[in-house]
């Protein structure tokens, strides 16, 4: 079994999900008392969030590169970033390590394409929705990406940063997410990307009559596949 290197803490809520999902899938594969080989570097999200809000992406890249290099040095066979937004510095991380960086947008796009879906809605932080690094990556897989309108994007972003990263699950917020997702469906979307690693805590597949692509779940499943090869 290969060792999975996780850069987490963005937020600790979704990082805990990564740890649980990966271990559960590894145990399902091997049985018995087997658990995953994981090395985790959990950063201070307060520092990262401050760099985000100030647009200091080079500073956040420095922090995450340092984490990746340390994980590689102690035996990680691959690196995964337990957040969608900070994939804005994914190329910087890969350039500074020798082991594979498993990109969350790539594995999600491949899953969508395997379902023969071409038009998807994206629900994520405002950085992920409004900056090019993520949407353009999806478009390389010939996907048409539809975003919520400006007011809806603010609602989504506020719920993520004010509630979900703190583990707060609010029923009204869930209804707001479902309403926004249904609006995307009305615009012709065949599937919805839950493009923030915390959204899966709030919205479940049974909540909508459309394919949901939970990036956390898909990322974890891919990491496990690579680990057991």
CATH code where residue 204 lies: 3.40.50.1860
Do 204 and 126 lie in a common domain?
Answer: yes
Confidence at residue 73, expressed as pLDDT on a 0 to 100 scale? 98
Confidence at residue 147, expressed as pLDDT on a 0 to 100 scale? 98
Q: Is 136 exposed, middle or buried (0-12, 13-18, 19+ CB in 10 A)?
A: exposed
φ, ψ for residue 130 (rounded to 5)? -100, -20
Do 110 and 173 lie in a common domain?
Answer: yes
Q: How many domains does the chain have?
A: 2
Range of the domain at 174: 104-214
Do 120 and 201 lie in a common domain?
Answer: yes
Confidence at residue 214, expressed as pLDDT on a 0 to 100 scale? 97
Do 109 and 31 lie in a common domain?
Answer: no
**Of residues 15, 83, 125, 197, which has the active-site annotation?**
83
**pLDDT tens track, the chain, 229 positions:** 999 999 999 999 999 999 999 999 999 999 999 999 999 999 999 999 999 999 999 999 999 999 999 999 999 999 999 999 999 999 999 999 999 999 999 999 999 999 999 999 999 999 999 999 999 999 999 999 999 999 999 999 999 999 999 999 999 999 999 999 999 999 999 999 999 999 999 999 999 999 999 999 999 999 999 999 9
**Of residues 82, 189, 196, 220, which has the active-site annotation?**
196
Confidence at residue 228, expressed as pLDDT on a 0 to 100 scale? 98
Is 216 an annotated catalytic residue? Answer: no
- Residue 53: CB atoms within 10 A of its CB come to 10
Do 49 and 133 lie in a common domain?
Answer: no
Do 118 and 203 lie in a common domain?
Answer: yes
Distance CA 16, CA 122 (A): 23
Do 151 and 121 lie in a common domain?
Answer: yes
Confidence at residue 82, expressed as pLDDT on a 0 to 100 scale? 98
Give SS3 for 145.
strand
Do 202 and 116 lie in a common domain?
Answer: yes
Query: Which H or E run contains 17?
Result: helix 12-30
Confidence at residue 140, expressed as pLDDT on a 0 to 100 scale? 97
Do 99 and 125 lie in a common domain?
Answer: no
Do 41 and 109 lie in a common domain?
Answer: no
Do 54 and 129 lie in a common domain?
Answer: no
Cβ atoms of residues 24 and 225 within 8 Å: no
Do 124 and 209 lie in a common domain?
Answer: yes
Is 83 an annotated catalytic residue? Answer: yes
């Amino acid at each position: 079994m290969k060792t999975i290197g996780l850069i987490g803490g963005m937020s600790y809520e979704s990082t805990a999900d990564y740890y649980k999902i990966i271990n559960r899938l590894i145990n399902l594969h091997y049985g018995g008392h087997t658990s995953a080989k994981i090395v985790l570097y959990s950063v201070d999200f307060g520092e990262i969030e401050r760099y985000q809000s100030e647009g200091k992406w080079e500073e956040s890249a420095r922090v995450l590169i340092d984490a990746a290099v340390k994980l590689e040095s102690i035996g990680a066979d691959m690196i995964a970033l337990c957040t969608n937004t900070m994939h804005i510095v994914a190329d910087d991380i890969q350039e500074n390590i020798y082991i594979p960086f498993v990109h969350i947008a790539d594995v999600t796009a491949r899953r969508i394409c395997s379902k023969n879906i071409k038009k998807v809605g994206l629900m994520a932080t405002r950085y992920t929705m409004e900056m090019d690094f993520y949407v353009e990556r999806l478009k390389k897989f010939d996907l048409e990406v539809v975003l919520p309108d400006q007011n809806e994007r603010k609602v989504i972003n506020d719920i993520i940063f004010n509630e979900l990263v703190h583990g707060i699950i609010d029923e009204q917020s869930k209804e707001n997410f479902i309403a926004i997702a249904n609006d995307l469906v009305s615009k012709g979307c065949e599937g919805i990307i839950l493009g923030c690693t915390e959204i899966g805590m709030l919205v479940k597949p049974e909540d909508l009559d459309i394919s949901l692509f939970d990036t956390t779940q898909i990322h974890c499943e891919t990491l496990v596949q690579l680990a057991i090869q």
